[in-house]
Chains A and B, each alone.
Chain A
Amino acid sequence: DQQVKQNSPSLSVQEGRISILNCDYTNSMFDYFLWYKKYPAEGPTFLISISSIKDKNEDGRFTVFLNKSAKHLSLHIVPSQPGDSAVYFCAASRTGNQFYFGTGTSLTVIP
């Protein structure tokens, strides 16, 4: 049973525009969420996190939004750059122990 879902396997965006990656979860007990970026043949690298006490967290070009009532979070990248092309995973946990990952969204930023 997939507790964290990323329903868009891929996304293409023009350089300079906004990229929006979406993530849904089913377990209302999840209280901590992470976004990771992964290049081929490398391990995932951390991008940004958000806890359930917030509905928004920003770090430079990256902003994560959390809608607890809809069990939905999204990652906004503005402006998108070619170097952002990678697979993005969202992850969720309860109490920060076990992390459950989505299946990933492959982002392509077109120059």
Chain B
Amino acid sequence: NAGVTQTPKFRILKIGQSMTLQCAQDMNHNYMYWYRQDPGMGLKLIYYSVGAGITDKGEVPNGYNVSRSTTEDFPLRLELAAPSQTSVYFCASSYGGAAAISGANVLTFGAGSRLTVL
């Protein structure tokens, strides 16, 4: 059972370049999330999706775009990379809000993608 798979694990970008971080889950989860973690900080929500075709902004969406064409995939796009986007990015998925009633709404995280913008 793969869970949540993120690629690439590491990437170095030059300022102004663009790239896409890939995320796929095989648990048939409805909800998917992108977080970033800066040194000494908690995880900040960038974007999330409650189902295919539906996305919404989180706490720190500027400089990023997402799409959700399938239940399984939730790519994160950086259009014009900036040094402030140097971070570790985590994708996560869950069954969704209603599952919280039964205590089943648990976020499952990928292993992370470390991005450096120089």
Contact = CB atoms under 8 A, between A and B. Distances in A.
Interface residues of B, number: 32
Interface string A27-62: 000011010100001111110011100000000000
Interface stretch (A11-19, A75-83, A88-96): A88-96
Interface residues of A, number: 30
Given A34-B107, A89-B42, A42 B112 contact: yes
A25 interface: no
Do most interface residues of chain B lie in helix, strand or loop, or is the interface mixed? Answer: mixed
Contacts of B43: 44, 89, 91, 101
B40 A97 contact: no
Contacts of A101: 35, 42-44
Nearest to A3: B59
A98 interface: yes
User: 8 shortest A-B CB distances, which residue pairs?
Assistant: A96-B100, A43-B109, A96-B97, A101-B42, A101-B43, A96-B105, A103-B42, A32-B100
Interface of A: 2, 4, 6, 9, 31-32, 34, 36, 41-46, 49-51, 89, 91, 93, 95-104
27 contacts: A4-B42, A31-B100, A32-B100, A34-B107, A36-B107, A36-B109, A41-B111, A41-B112, A43-B90, A43-B109, A43-B111, A44-B43, A44-B90, A46-B106, A51-B100, A51-B101, A89-B43, A93-B100, A96-B97, A96-B100, A97-B97, A98-B48, A98-B58, A99-B33, A100-B45, A100-B59, A101-B44
